[in-house]
Every structure is written in structure tokens, then in C-alpha cells.
Structure 1
Amino acid sequence: MPPSLPDEPSHRSKPSRWFNPILAGATLPDRLLACAAALVAIILTGLICGLMFGEGSHLPLIVAPMGASAVLLFAVPSSPLAQPWPIIGGNTISALIGVAAASAISDPIIATGVGVSLAIAAMSFTRCLHPPGGAAALTAVLGGPAVASWGILFPFVPVALNSCLLVAIGLAFHKLSKHNYPHVATPPVNTHLTADRPAAERAGFQEQDVDAALAALKDSFDIDRDSLLRLLRQVELEAVARSNSEIKCADIMSRDVVSVDIDASVEQARWLLLHHNVRTLPVRDHDRKLVGTVGLRELAVAAGSVEPLIARPISARPDDPALALLPVLTDGRAHAVIITDAQRNILGLISQTDLLSAVARSLPKPVQPQTVAA
């Protein structure tokens, strides 16, 4: 089945009555998966370290802060505090500071306070702030003979080793589960390779507005600035789609769709594009089901059959809100969205022109001044 864009608006999905997440965006399946991943990761980390150190080693196979690191790594992988460098750098640097504090200060209470305080400062300046780092500093100070016997090596073995193994397992897990980790917020890119800002960023709030709002609130949030910008822009789109949800794709789509068969020639497809003055042709298989699209970009210098040139289609359903297609049709790549039913039968097509007309219809009507009789 072809990918359907845009996704179902988030305001329609509600959390389970008995699962009330403390973090925005959390779902019950993600939490259960995080539990399973943490189970495997902690056991594997301990087993691998056991094989490396040997069973008779007095060195701890895995240190306590790894449990807290696992919570961040698997439960909130998009957090800036859960990225690879904060986990590895935060734990290792904090353990180093803890060892230094323990060796320089005889009173353990003062040493723990100094160790945690300096660990926060060091992690902040090295851009690897990681809450379990505070526990790593405490462990280095209060770890007893096992830690003291290793001295300066303790931050590297087992702390850094544990951290590296945990991150490696986390990278593999998130790749298999198709999560964005390490989390990178990719801003919209101008696909025309010009100096202009992408269309989605030219209207509405700007980066300086977000900076001003953060300064006014005087709070720190567990989200990086680029992710915050992306989230707020998506909120704008969701609000537009919700407030104009009465305009459905079926209301504005073209129904007499110009399409081409999968075994058609490039010459036939190019003639259809130019003759009908359209920019995208849906491609049908032998059962007349949608299999993809071709446009003038693919057909310009090609020859032979259209089949090798087919691109993955962007599709939607007739009952989807029409204005939910805004991010798709304004990204500079797609020129049309194909409207299909559940069986991939082509029902219609919405072009950028169709969507522009729908947006114009959704704008508030100007209020006409009333003349007051003398």
C-alpha cells in the first residue's frame, strides 16, 4: 500500500484511560518497548563486562548510574540529555571529577557535594549535561575499596565502558524500532537551492520569537531549540487543519484524473503532461491501482518505458481534511496528492492550485462597513 500523507492529526488520538503519560508524546506501546529494551541492554552490558573482566574481578561489572542512563536512552530518546555524547561524556567526566574530589577532600560529605557541583559545571561547559552524571560522581566518591583500588582508571573502566556499551545497544535498538536516534531535528530545506528561506518558515513566528518567549518564561525545557521550532510549526499546521476540518479532500479534488498505465512509453506520458498542462501523472498497474507517479522532471530527458521512472506516490483519503495537505504541497517537492480509497483505486487528485483555492475559501471574509442613516 502506498504511503499516505499527511498522518492522522494528533488531536484525534487520545491516551488510554489507565495510561496517563507524564511526558508529551509518550504512548503505552513505546513505554512497553522501552522496558524490554532496558532489560536487554542492562543484561547485555553486564554480561559483556563480565566476559571482559572475568568472574574473579573485584571491579563492579556495571555501575548504578547506568540504570538512570537507560531510562533516558530508551524512554525519552529525543531528550538532549539522552544523546550519545551526554551519556558517555557526562558519566565519564563526572566520574573523573568524583575521583578527584575524593582524593583531594578527606571529608566524604563535603567531597560528595563538591563532586556533584563541579560535575554539573563541567557537563554544562562541555555540552554533555546528563542527570546520571551526578550519580556517577557520587559513586566515585562513595564507592569504597573497589573504586579506590582503581583510582583514576575507574571513570574509564567500568564507567566509560558501560556507557559506550549502553549507547551502542541503544543505537541498534532505535535503528530497528525506526526511532530518530541520535535525535536530529532537521529544519525544512529550500529544495530550489536558492538563498530564500523554505516556504514553511516565511510566515508565522520566527526563531527570534521563540528566543524571546524562552527568555520571558525564564525556564529551561528538556527539548532542544530546533525540535521546539519543529514542534511549534506542526502545532500551527494542526490548528489550521482542525479549524478548517469541514473542507475535505473530496470537496476540492479533481475527479477527471489524467493518468498513465505502467507500461506506457515516456513519449506518451510526456505528451499527456504537456497536452493537459499538468505537472504530475498518477501511474496505474494492470488492475488500475495506483503504483506511483511521474512528472516532467523524470520524463524530461528519458526514453523507453515509464516503469523505471516511477516515484513513490503521496496519497490521502477523501475524508481527510484538505488543509492537512499544506506541509506536503508547500515543501517544494510534491506538486499533487493522489486521492485513493483503501484498495488504492484512484478517486481524484489535489494540486497546489486546488489547495490554494481551498485556503482562500477558508480565510475570514472582510467585514463590510455599515452606513448609518442620518
Structure 2
Amino acid sequence: MSIPAGPDALNTERGRLPSLFSRAWWRAFRPARTRINTRERLRLVMGALLGIFLTGWLCHLAGGTLASGLPWLIAPLGASAVLVFAVPASPMAQPWPVVGGNTLSALVGIAGVHGVYLLGSPELAAALAVATAIALMLALRCLHPPGGATALMMVLGGMADPAFAFYPVLLNSVLLVLAGIAYNNATRRPYPHMQLAPLTGAVSREARQLDADLDAVLARYNQVLDVSRDDLKALLADTQLRAYDRKLAEVRCADIMSRDLVTVQFGTPLQEAWALLRERRIKALPVVDRSFRIAGIITLADFMRAAELDLYEGFDEKLRTLIRSTKSSYSNKPEVVGQIMTRHVRVAGMQRHLVDLVPLFGSTGHHHIPIIGEGERLVGMITQSDLVAALGRAADPAA
């Protein structure tokens, strides 16, 4: 899977930003598609409705006794609700960023109100309050976009009382987070969003390499992302798995089967069949008729069964006796392939998908599956080795 070389995906060849007013630059103004279904849209809308209602209702009740005359709900909480209920997996929507980001930004904004008298410029005081709030949130790992609005609101509203940071700002934020925990988990959206445990113990080389590559790309990207590193890793892994499944699903028997076939017929002497198995270093021989249709298959297991090699005593002698041709016209042992072959053979068509054969190899003990073509004639053979090789190629991103 290729990853853009630079922080802007509009020009991935050299990792450079597109030139101003170019076609790619104008395309950036087109709104991105929200890839969620109607049920998810309704879920987040109802979550914001309930979250703001409960927060406002409880703070309104508390306002009569704790801080009569003060606002009981702050406007930036609406933006916090968007994050908590619409993107509960976002690092900026987690409990600490919501509570810490809003409260600390409120304190910074209140300090900015006092700074107006020193600076003599409300515009400069407002700008310094927002910038300081962002710097503080970054330092304390609680970056929360509505926090910037909270700091600005304090300065523009002339909120000079530090108590305002605790009521309503802190109480609003805590109640909204509690509503988010209850609602998101009730609707099967984990909140707070769990992070993956660090890799410990025996971990595959590929997993460690994926971690290292992801860290390197994020370091080069060097921008704040509204998605956690662990979610990026999970999305990348799921994408790779989906691509693997798709590539494997497209493979047909004709794509991987062995076409250089070694076959025998019903009347082929056992000694000749055994010699073919030894010389070609194969484990099975398809048995065909004169029209090259499958009549059976003979494997090493068939030889062992016919020679009664379930016991190791006299192993060599029993096998030699079986494959040795009898000179007389009468024989009390098998002489030709057709007498010991397996007659019931599982076959597959050339156009059958390879994934359909995986259960046959995995659970039924099959090691070789003949492939038939037009007129049910034998055209190839798929072995377990062919299957493993195909799985390996499908897993290779460069394949």
C-alpha cells in the first residue's frame, strides 16, 4: 500500500503543495463526503440533542443556588457536543480534552480580560488569549477546538470572575462528558475511546515493521490529526486485509494449477507408478481413461494401505512385494493401479474460485485436487503447495 510522500495528498509524486489557484487547489474547496449511513446520522443528532438538553437542564437547576445571575450554558459547548457525539473516537473529543480544554481556556480568557487594561487593545488581548489557550492545551494534551472559542468568549464578554471557569464552564463540560459516556456506549460507540495496548511479548516482524513505518510517516507528516495513531493503524490493517481478501477472491483454479501433468491409466503396473512417484518427487498421480477423464487417483497413502504398512515391521519387504510384478498368470496381490487407486475423487472446474477449495485442503484432508476443463477432461492439478504459494502472492502488496 503506497502512502503519499508529503503532508498534502493532492500531489503525491513529489510531496509538494499544489500551486495556488491550480485545479488541484480549487478541488480542495469541494466538501468531503461524509461516509456514514442514515442510522449513524440519526444517532449523533439525537446524542447532541439529549446531551445539550440534560447539561443545560441540570446546570439551569444548579444555577439557582450556585451562581444566580450567571449564564448556565456556554455557546462553545455546542461545538463540544459535535465532537463528543459525532466523532467520539477523535482524540479531541475525549473526556480530558473536553473538560481540560474548555476549563483551562476559560481561565486563560479571564486572564485576557484583565490584560485588556494592560495592553490597551481588546483585539490584541483576544488574539493572545486564543493563542495562549492553544499552546496550553497542546502542552497539557487536551487540545479541544471549542476551547479556543471559550477563551475568545471570555474576552469579548468581559468575564473577569475566575469562578466563571468553574460554573458554568467546568460543570457544563463534565455533564456533557457524562452524557457522552452514557449515550455513546448505549449506542455501541466506545467512549472514552480505548487505545491499543503497546506491543509486548512475541510479536511478528511484520507487526513491528508496520508500527515503525506508521511512526515514521506520522513524524514526516508533522500535523495535528483528528484521528488517533491506533485508529490509523487499525484502519490500515483492515484495509490491507480487505485488499488481501479481494485479491484472493479473484484467483481462479486455472490461474495457479500445475499444467505439467504426470498421469497413469487403470492398467499401469504398480511398479511403473511407484517409479514415477519417486522420479518426479510427487505424492499423487491422477488416473485417467483414454479420453483423459478422471477415473481415480493413486497416492503414497494408497500404496501404504495396499501393502498393509500400518505396522513398521517388515516395511521395506512389504513394499517391495507389493510393487514387484508377478510373472505367473495368477496373482494373489494387486498388480495394476486400478486395483488400489482411490476411486472417489474430488475435482474442481478451471473457473472455480480458489477460496472455494480452502475448506477442502484445510478440513477434509485433501492434498491434491484435479482440475477439469471442457468435456470433464483433466487439465491440471492443485496441491497444498500451490495453495500456500497463492496465499503468499495475495498477501504481497507488490503482487
CA contact (8 A) 1:34 1:74 kept: yes
Deviation, 1:236, is 1.1
Measured in 1, the distance between the counterparts of 2:40 and 2:189 equals 10
What is the aligned counterpart of 1:229 among 222, 226, 233?
A: 233
C-alpha separation in 1, matches of 2:173 and 2:73: 9
- Which residue, out of 86, 108, 129, partners 1:75? 86
For 2:354 and 2:116, the matched residues in 1 are separated by 65
- Unaligned regions of 5+ residues in structure 1, if any? 1-19, 249-318, 326-338, 340-347, 366-374
Following superposition, the deviation at residue 220 of structure 1 comes to 3.1
Letter of the aligned partner of 2:181 in structure 1? L
Work out which of the residue numbers 182, 187, 192 in structure 2 matches 1:177.
187
For residues 349 and 169 of structure 1, the distance between their equivalents in structure 2, rounded to whole angstroms, comes to 52
The 3 A distance-change label for structure 1 pair 187 and 141 is same
| Aligned 1:193-204 pairs, distance under 5 A | 195-197=201-203, 199=204, 202=206
Q: Indicate whether 1:213 and 2:217 are aligned.
A: yes
Identity %: 42
Question: Bigger relative contact order, structure 1 or 2, given CA contacts below 8 A and separation 6+?
Answer: 1
The structural deviation recorded for 1:104 is: 2.3
Distance 1:350 1:73 in 2: 46
Following the alignment from structure 2 to structure 1, what is the Cα–Cα distance between the partners of residues 196 and 354? 26
Whole-angstrom CA distance in 1 between matches of 2:39 and 2:220: 36
Q: CA deviation at 1:21?
A: 8.8
The residue that corresponds to 1:164 in the other structure is 174
Q: Is the 8 A contact 2:130 2:152 kept in 1?
A: yes
Using the size of structure 1 for normalisation, the TM-score is 0.58
Q: Deviations over 1:59-95 (max 9, x none)?
A: 1110001000000001111110000000000000000
Q: How does 1:298-337 map to 2 (within 5 A)?
A: none
Q: 2:245 aligns with which of 236, 241, 245?
A: 241
Indicate yes or no: 2:97 matched with 1:91.
Answer: no
Q: 1:180, CA displacement in angstroms?
A: 1.5
Secondary structure class of the residue paired with 2:249: coil
Q: 1:120 aligns with which of 125, 134, 145?
A: 134
* CA contact 2:43–2:187 (8 Å) conserved in 1: no
Q: 1:225-262 CA deviation, whole Å, 9 max, x = no partner?
A: 122112111111111001111469xxxxxxxxxxxxxx
In structure 2, the residue matched to 1:57 is: 68
Other-structure match for 2:389? 360
Where does the alignment leave 5 or more consecutive residues of structure 2 unmatched?
1-29, 253-351, 367-383, 395-399
Whether the aligned pair in 1 keeps the contact of 2:250 and 2:353 (CA below 8 Å) is no
Contact kept in structure 2, 1:62 and 1:158, CA below 8 Å: yes
| Number of matched pairs | 242
Where does residue 165 of structure 2 map in the other structure?
Answer: 155
Q: Which residue of structure 2 aligns with residue 30 of structure 1?
A: 40
Deviation at residue 34 of structure 1 after TM alignment: 0.6
Q: Which AA in structure 2 matches 1:58?
A: G
Measure, in 2, the Cα distance between the counterparts of 1:320 and 1:154: 67
How far does the alpha carbon of each residue in 1:19-64 deviate from its partner, in whole angstroms, 9 at most, with x for none? x994775333212211111111111111101111129932111000
Q: Is the 8 A contact 2:110 2:154 kept in 1?
A: yes
Alignment RMSD (CA, Å): 3.4
Change (3 A) 1:62 1:349: farther
Cα distance in 2 for partners of 1:72, 1:320 equals: 45
Give the structure 1 partner of residue 25 of structure 2.
none
Larger radius of gyration: 2
Q: Deviations over 1:128-152 (max 9, x none)?
A: 00000001101111124xx34xx01
Secondary structure (helix, strand or coil) at the match of 1:54 reads: helix
Evaluate the alpha carbon distance shift between residue 42 and residue 359 of structure 1 in structure 2; reply closer, same or farther with a 3 A threshold: farther
Note if contact 1:241-1:321 (Cα within 8 Å) is conserved in structure 2.
no
Q: Distance in 2 between matches of 1:225 and 1:131?
A: 19
User: What CA distance in whole angstroms lies between the structure 2 residues aligned with 1:37 and 1:58?
Assistant: 29
1:181-203 Cα shifts (integer Å, max 9, x gaps): 1111325877xxxx211x5x635
C-alpha separation in 2, matches of 1:230 and 1:104: 46
Q: Does 1:103 align with 2:117?
A: no
Kindly tell me: are residues 99 and 320 of structure 1, through their superposed partners in 2, closer, same or farther at Cα, counting changes over 3 Å? farther
